[in-house]
Structure 1
Amino acid sequence: MPTTTRYRRRWAALAVLLVAEAMNLLDATIVQVAGPAIHADLPGPAADIPWFSAAYTLPFAAFLITGGRLGDIFGRARTFRIGVAGFVLASLACAAAPDAGLLIGARAVQGAAAALIIPQTIGLIRALFDGAELAKALGTIGPVMGLSAVTGPLLGGLLTQAVSWRAVFLVNVPLGLAVLLAARLLREDRAATRPRLDVTGTLLVAGGAGLLVYPLIDPAGTDWGLLAAGGVLLVVFGFQQRRAAAPLVEPSLFAHRGFPAALAGSLLFFAVMTGLMQVVPMQLQLGSGADVRTAGLTLLPLSAGLAVSSYVAGARLVPKFGSRVMFAGLALLVTGVLAMEAGGVGAYPWALALCGLGMGTFTVPFFTAALDRVRPHETGSAAGLLNAVQQLGGTLGVALLGGLYLGTGTAAAALGLGAALAVAAAVAVVPLTARKKGSAPDLSSRRGP
């Protein structure tokens, strides 16, 4: 095959992977705006609204690391195609759902399918490119994700207002079919040594995460017994991983305090970020009577602030100031959340812009610092675990902030909790900036994140 043809084929294959990544992020954000409209059309308890989002992100988080391991075992391109096919079918089931219960079930299948898709993308990109081209290819992920984050809430509002909430799910069908048709461009790739699947670990982490989230969404009251059971299962999972022959998580990651701090910070930060994007549309539609298009447009300053600050942080701030930039981002986030709590709906546009600026300013140095001391053989496990905890944090944010809003009938309590979680995230990430004996992570010496 001529060099020019191979070059074009590689970049066309990259486009396939980027569309799949964008499809996942769109699906995670587009429903947050449409939730109240879905609830109005599919009568049931108000507690169903957070589940329209959480039912997707919970299985996504729980099976993300397992999805990566399945790609190692059966081939990343094959696992990718299976995940996309399942995602398309689940999207059709969501669009046709006659009641809230079936919709929530179909959303869970969507999330599980996404857990097969997303872990394969980095491995497949590495199989396609090397050297300078690999860095260039990986660099395309950020802008695509930023654009998807901006587009999701806006598209959700416009489609729901102009057509129906069902169109929100049908968007995935042509995208998914296009990805499946073009997936023949992908080169098959799998681990050099075929690992075993840790079924026990998968069941423990999925059960523990589910038992933690389920009682938090119920606005009628928290079932502390289920919460305790979820915590116990996750503790058992930790011990089981130390003894497993083929653990889902590399145990050596927890030998230094920086990585556990990163997990705690990620959990808390993304709980605030995702919970905020759940509560604001609910308050606007259920509390203020705004239409779904207005709710989607109101989130635009947050998405725009996130996109702009991510670029500025990576290009300017992190090279100059290093990991200290994280705390400036968290300060902006807390200021924006408190401004919404104090100023009400009228303050939402500019306060959400502050939140978005804080989110982008935090995330770029955070992930750089979180992976700074991870050794090469730990990188895959560390990245997968951070991604899974990020999704679990988002699920908990939807449960905590959304459940509190539905239980109190006011956004102020939920926003107050969000500010408290952001402060806790700041405390949790302090060890990431601490100097290690013999070496010091110096992000400012790098050209980018």
Structure 2
Amino acid sequence: MTTLDIRPLDAREATEPTPYRWRWPALFVILAGSVMELLDATVTNIAGPTMQADLGGGTSMIQWLGVAYTLAMTAGLLTGGRLGDIVGRKRMFLIGAAGFVVGSLFCAVAVSPETIIAARVIQGLFGAAMVPQGLGMMKEMFPPKELQAAFGAFGPIMGLSAIGGPILAGWLVDADFFGTGWRMIFLINLPIGLLAVLAAVKFLPATRPTRSLKLDLPGALLASLGSLMIVFPLVQGREHDWPAWTFVMMAGSVAVFAFFGWYESRKNSRGGDPLIAPSLFRKRTFIGGMFTGTIYFAAFSGFGLVFNLYTQLGLGYTPLKAGLAGVPLSVGMIIGMGAMQAVRRHGRRVLHAGAAIMTVGVVALLLLLGPEVGPWQLAPALLVTGLGSGLIMGPYFEIALAGVEPHETGSASGTLTALQQVGAALGVALLGTVFFGAMGGDPTAAARSTFWVVAGMVALTFLVGFLLPRQAREDADPVH
């Protein structure tokens, strides 16, 4: 028997709010911002050698192109989401998108290593102000029955970006439109970013700020300083023959992180809003998740940089050919993340299987390396490496968050996302340094030595993964 809803219309609207009218166009605006940020996070892996040849500087500049961006992104992510809650998510998205466009322009007109690195910092900071706002707005715009479909749009779009980004970067560098060369990889952001800003003004919903929250700026500065004190000597130490200050600086980072932990605990005990919930550091499973993610993202990001350096410096590929050569890695990763959906009930075992498969792929690849190897010979090993990587990344966040309490989820998710960026910066710094330090005129030998380190890091990911919970929590967010 069908029951009629005889409540007054006003009462029904009070309990069943009308979905936001422009939610689907707004979703595409959010996706456009995420794609723009994702592409710029990786384009310098392809364009780095060309940029270094044009702007000068040592080989460490190639590392700094990625490290400066990811460290700035880390610093911004620690505060970007909170600023969205304080001043409004739409406002922060607009500030972030506009600033990202300005940073892209500064990158395009850079005339020295110092100016391009400073511009990359600007890009990273404003990208971090833009990207975190999307998830909060999506949860506000979409009713529960549509939210999963909205989240589902991220997978294909991000997958296409992972494949198309290196190809686009290589094509733009090789095409040399209007004599711009590598600068076009940043100039292309200007029309895209300006359209995103105009569309955001029209379609994004205005959100009500939460004035009760406060920004933990000292905590963010301490965490950023500790990260920089590790990464800076790793990148610069090799070119200066590892002077004593590099080791003092890395040791000092431990003291900074210890002080950061004390500061956050003290702030929490006084009723403040700490950047990271101190209770998280008393959970073995969460600490295991921190180490697992940091090691994995370091291995994967550093691997991507070194592979692109090897194909261009060792095999003489053009930027476009180098981008195309890396496509099997991205394809394998998409397949792995798709396959994970069918086996996710196995929880931590999926991550362990991914680490084992990725290790096999990396070892197979390094055994294939040679001065005459072609892209088709490398493709199977890259596909296997990507497959394993997708099986690691797919369940990682859900499993790492399984051991935290519901009220800690926001802080835990933000911490893991920031550590993803820290891991990426560490990987580029560490593995880039291993590659350039071992090169000695033979990029093939340098790549082979570096990939052995990558294989060891992925194997370590497998071992540390035993600290993670066996299963993901059922109510974990579908996007992190």
TM range (shorter): over 0.9
How far 1:249 sits from its partner (Å)? 0.6
* CA-to-aligned-CA distance 1:398-426 (integer Å, 9 cap, x gap): 00111111111111221111111111111
Give the Cα separation in 2 of the matches to 1:246 and 1:351.
Answer: 47
Q: 2:261 maps to which residue? A: 238
Give the alignment of 1:165-184 within 5 angstroms. 165-184=182-201
Distance 1:262 1:443 in 2: 14
Q: C-alpha offsets along residues 99-127 of structure 1, whole Å, 9 cap, x if unaligned? A: 12100110011011111011111111112
Measure the CA separation in 2 of the matches of 1:89 and 1:22.
17
Q: 2 CA distance for matches of 1:403 and 1:90? A: 27
Q: Which SS does the other structure have where 1:372 is aligned?
A: coil
Distance in 1, matches of 2:407 and 2:475, equals: 24
Distance 2:279 2:208 in 1: 23
**Which residue of 2 is the match for residue 356 of structure 1?**
386
**Which of 359, 362, 366 is the equivalent residue of 2:396?**
366
Q: Equivalences for 1:432-443 in 2 at 5 Å?
A: 432-434=468-470, 441=471
* Aligned amino acid, residue 111 of structure 2: P
Alignment of 1:296-445 (within 5 A): 296-314=323-341, 316-319=342-345, 321-345=346-370, 346=373, 348-409=378-439, 410-434=446-470, 441=471
Distance 1:296 1:442, change over 3 A: closer
Deviation at 1:384, TM superposition (A): 1.0
2:264 paired with 1:251: no
* Distance (Å, rounded) in 1 between the aligned partners of 2:143 and 2:253: 42
In 1, are the aligned partners of 2:94 and 2:197 still within 8 Å (CA)? yes
How far the C-alpha of 1:148 sits from its partner, in A, is 1.2
1:292 maps to a residue whose letter is P
Q: Residues 208 and 233 of structure 1 are in contact (CA less than 8 Å); yes or no, is this contact kept in structure 2?
A: yes
Using the TM superposition, give the Cα deviation of residue 444 of structure 1 relative to its aligned residue in structure 2, in angstroms: 9.9
Counterpart of 2:447, as a letter, is A
Structure 1: runs of 5 or more not aligned: 435-440
Mapped to 2, the partners of 1:376 and 1:433 lie a distance apart of: 16
Q: What's the offset of the Cα at 1:382? A: 1.3
**Aligned residues of 2:350 and 2:395 also touching (Cα < 8 A):** yes
Question: What amino acid is the match of 2:104?
Answer: S
Alignment of 1:209 onto 2:231: no
Contact 1:327 1:426 in 2 (8 A): yes
Q: Measured at CA, do residues 340 and 276 of structure 1 come closer, stay the same or move farther in structure 2, by a change above 3 Å?
A: same
In the superposition, relative to structure 1, how do residues 66 and 443 fare at CA in structure 2: closer, same or farther (>3 Å)? closer
Residue of structure 2 in register with 1:437 after alignment: none
Amino-acid identity (%): 40
In 1, distance between residues paired with 2:475 and 2:343? Answer: 12
Letter in 2 for 1:395: A
Q: 1:62 aligns with which of 60, 63, 75?
A: 75
Q: Aligned match of 2:213 in 183, 190, 195? A: 195
Cα contact 1:324–1:433 (8 A) shared by 2: no
CA distance in 1, matches of 2:83, 2:184: 32
Which SS does the other structure have where 1:388 is aligned?
A: helix
What displacement does 1:96 show?
A: 0.8
CA distance in 2, matches of 1:82, 1:192: 18
Distance in 1 (alpha carbons) for counterparts of 2:462 and 2:401: 18
For residues 316 and 253 of structure 2, the distance between their equivalents in structure 1, rounded to whole angstroms, comes to 37
Letter in 2 for 1:173: L
1:348 offset after TM fit, Å? Answer: 3.0
Alignment partners' CA distance in 1, 2:306 and 2:394: 25
Residue pair 2:357, 2:388 contacting (<8 A) in 1 also: yes
Q: 1:51 aligns with which of 58, 64, 86?
A: 64
Q: Does 2:34 correspond to 1:16?
A: no
User: What's the CA shift for 1:31?
Assistant: 1.6
- TM-score (normalizing by structure 2): 0.87
Cα distance in 1 between the residues matched to 2:212 and 2:204: 20
Q: Distance in 2 between matches of 1:413 and 1:400?
A: 13
Q: C-alpha deviations, 1:359-393, integer Å up to 9, x for none? A: 11111121221122322221211111111000110
Amino acid at match of 1:231: V
- Cα contact 1:123–1:189 (8 A) shared by 2: no
Alpha-carbon separation, structure 2, partners of 1:151 and 1:252: 41
User: What are the Cα deviations for residues 70-121 of structure 1, in whole angstroms up to 9, with x where unaligned?
Assistant: 1111111111110111100000010111112100110011011111011111
* 8 A Cα contact 1:318 1:443, kept in partner: no
| Alignment deviations for residues 253-285 of structure 1 (CA, whole Å, 9 cap, x no partner) | 223211111111110000011111100111111
Contact 2:20 2:142 (8 Å CA) reproduced: no
- 5+ residue gaps, structure 2, are 1-15, 440-445
Moved more, 174-183 or 364-373: 364-373
* CA-based RMSD: 2.0
